[in-house]
Structure 1
Amino acid sequence: MTDLNNGTVFITGANGGLGTQLVEAALTRGARRVYAGARSPKAWDDERVVPVTVDLGDTASIDQAVQQTGDTTVLVNNAAIFPRSDLLTGPTAELLSVIETNLIGPIHLTRSLAPSLVAAKGALVNINSVLSWFAVGKAHSVSKAGLWMATNALRLELAPQGVHVLGVYPGPMDTPMQPGEDRAGMTDPADIANAVYDALGAGEYELLTDETATKVHGALAAPVTALYPALAR
């Protein structure tokens, strides 16, 4: 079980819809310091929040951010990008950028901060997605499927060293990353942020935040046509 009270939390993608709520919820739960990571950090109205410049698609940027955040006790890998071009026809550079930002970047950051997490007997939280198990996200799904497995692998390596690892799998969430005007049925990111820290405090390994995530996860044990009915026609 991980208590945020008096902890030091590093949250990437802190400017986004969920990232902002993760920062606010960490402060509410008594975090001593919150590193708010973003490619273009913004100002915050709480002195406990320290803006940090970090681009997860740039290893040099990650290394520089680690120099500033070496006392982290809870790392929340939240930042991600979501281009929507096809795997077959989209730019190769775009595919590589998605993999670097959504998968390689979080692994690199985790490796760099692992000594701090181990020393604190802290925690790692990877904000993943229902699209880890559902390919409609195209390159994003590929990267998130990789992060799902990386989360499991990191858990096996970090658990013996006293670091808890939580994987979070939201379905549709009411954030700017979600396209379209119809927000019906989307989960409030504030609710997800609080659920994340509740799950961390309870020592859970995975958090499926809504019915969509639960349904898709359950279908993994069925034939592939359960997730992709068009293949059965």
Structure 2
Amino acid sequence: MADLPLALVTGATRGIGAAVARALAPTHRLLLGGRDADALGELAGTLPDARPWPIDLTDDEALEMATAEFGELDVLVHSAGVARLGTVETATDDDWRANFEVNVLGVVTLTRRLLPALRASKGHVVVINSGAGQNARPGWGPYAASKFAVRAFADSLREEESTLRVTSIYPGRTDTEMQQAIIADEGRAYEPERFLRPESVASAVLAAVSATGDAHPTEVILRPRGLV
């Protein structure tokens, strides 16, 4: 298995991140990033070549120590994220700060620290963005702003690092625990059949990282079928 490419997936404890880890497992060695070490260990135990990589992306000191070990890295999938919603009037400073700390600075800091390892393998960075990173809606300002920001980061990285491939994935609403919390805040009934499955998003990630060397998948947009 040592000849398989190495992929680091953040947000791997649940939802899209866990689905991405399962999708990549047959063809990659995996590092599973997230805050819940027990959940990471449980997932790793179900995969052929996976190790937990517990990390708090908002802890700069911990990130510096955790990334010092990398020599090469073939794939980096940013799936960790938070969604703190609210209007311009009602969203608090903490709401804005939480969205940007994880959704933007966590992505930026981890990518920057791993650039030497990614360059060494001419690697691939995949950013799980959101439909909110393309269209801002009322009540979604703090979250959408963070997703527009990480979109700009990915676009800049793609232009600046010519040896890397950088793909932004823009899924619509997806059946995850985060989505359940959002729907509850909106006061609506949860209808999972109306949303994408995490496995569908993971399939798009696998297709992007499996693209032949002459191809650079820059953006992938996914919406629930029938709700485009």
**TM-score, shorter chain, exceeding 0.5:** yes
TM-score by length of 2: 0.84
Q: Which residue of 2 aligns with 1:223?
A: none
Percent of counterpart pairs with the same letter? Answer: 28
Distance (whole Å) between structure 2 residues aligned to residue 84 and residue 54 of structure 1: 24
Deviations 1:88-125 (A, max 9, x none): 33321231121111001101111110111111011111
Distance (whole Å) between structure 2 residues aligned to residue 76 and residue 113 of structure 1: 12
Q: CA deviation at 1:87?
A: 3.4
Q: Which residue of 2 aligns with 1:227?
A: none
Q: Secondary structure at the match of 2:192?
A: coil
Query: Given the alignment of the two structures, is residue 174 of structure 1 paired with residue 175 of structure 2, yes or no?
Result: yes
Q: Which residue of 2 aligns with 1:229?
A: none
Q: CA deviation at 1:69?
A: 4.3
Distance (whole Å) between structure 2 residues aligned to residue 187 and residue 68 of structure 1: 36
Amino acid corresponding to residue 141 of structure 2 in structure 1: K
Deviations 1:56-95 (A, max 9, x none): 2222232232134443211111100011233333321231
Distance (whole Å) between structure 2 residues aligned to residue 201 and residue 57 of structure 1: 30
Contact residue 57 and residue 97 of structure 1 kept, 8 A? no
**Matched ranges for 1:63-82 at <5 A:** 63-82=64-83
Are residues 68 and 94 of structure 1, via their aligned partners in 2, closer, same or farther at CA, if it must alter by over 3 Å? farther
How many residues were matched structurally? 206
Which structure 2 residue ranges, 5 or more long, are not aligned?
A: 184-189
Contact residue 10 and residue 69 of structure 1 kept, 8 A? no
Distance (whole Å) between structure 2 residues aligned to residue 34 and residue 154 of structure 1: 23
Q: Which residue of 1 aligns with 2:56?
A: 55
Matching residue within 164, 180, 189 for 2:198:
189
Query: Given the alignment of the two structures, is residue 146 of structure 1 paired with residue 149 of structure 2, yes or no?
Result: yes
Contact residue 168 and residue 220 of structure 2 kept, 8 A? yes
Distance (whole Å) between structure 2 residues aligned to residue 47 and residue 189 of structure 1: 20
**Matched ranges for 1:98-117 at <5 A:** 98-117=99-118
Are residues 87 and 49 of structure 1, via their aligned partners in 2, closer, same or farther at CA, if it must alter by over 3 Å? farther
Are residues 208 and 106 of structure 1, via their aligned partners in 2, closer, same or farther at CA, if it must alter by over 3 Å? same
Deviations 1:3-48 (A, max 9, x none): xx811000100012111111111112x11x2110001222121351
TM-score by length of 1: 0.82
Amino acid corresponding to residue 217 of structure 2 in structure 1: E
Q: Secondary structure at the match of 1:177?
A: helix
Contact residue 171 and residue 210 of structure 1 kept, 8 A? yes
Q: Which residue of 1 aligns with 2:187?
A: none
Distance (whole Å) between structure 2 residues aligned to residue 102 and residue 127 of structure 1: 10
Are residues 110 and 21 of structure 1, via their aligned partners in 2, closer, same or farther at CA, if it must alter by over 3 Å? same
Deviations 1:172-197 (A, max 9, x none): 11111113321132111112101212
Distance (whole Å) between structure 2 residues aligned to residue 106 and residue 54 of structure 1: 13
Query: Given the alignment of the two structures, is residue 158 of structure 1 paired with residue 161 of structure 2, yes or no?
Result: yes
Contact residue 7 and residue 74 of structure 2 kept, 8 A? yes
Q: CA deviation at 1:211?
A: 5.9
Superposition CA RMSD, Å: 1.9
Higher mean displacement: 195-204 or 6-15: 195-204
Q: Which residue of 2 aligns with 1:209?
A: 222
**Matched ranges for 1:29-40 at <5 A:** 30-31=27-28, 33-40=29-36
Amino acid corresponding to residue 49 of structure 1 in structure 2: A
Q: Secondary structure at the match of 1:178?
A: helix
Which structure 1 residue ranges, 5 or more long, are not aligned?
A: 216-233
Contact residue 125 and residue 168 of structure 1 kept, 8 A? yes
Query: Given the alignment of the two structures, is residue 130 of structure 1 paired with residue 128 of structure 2, yes or no?
Result: no
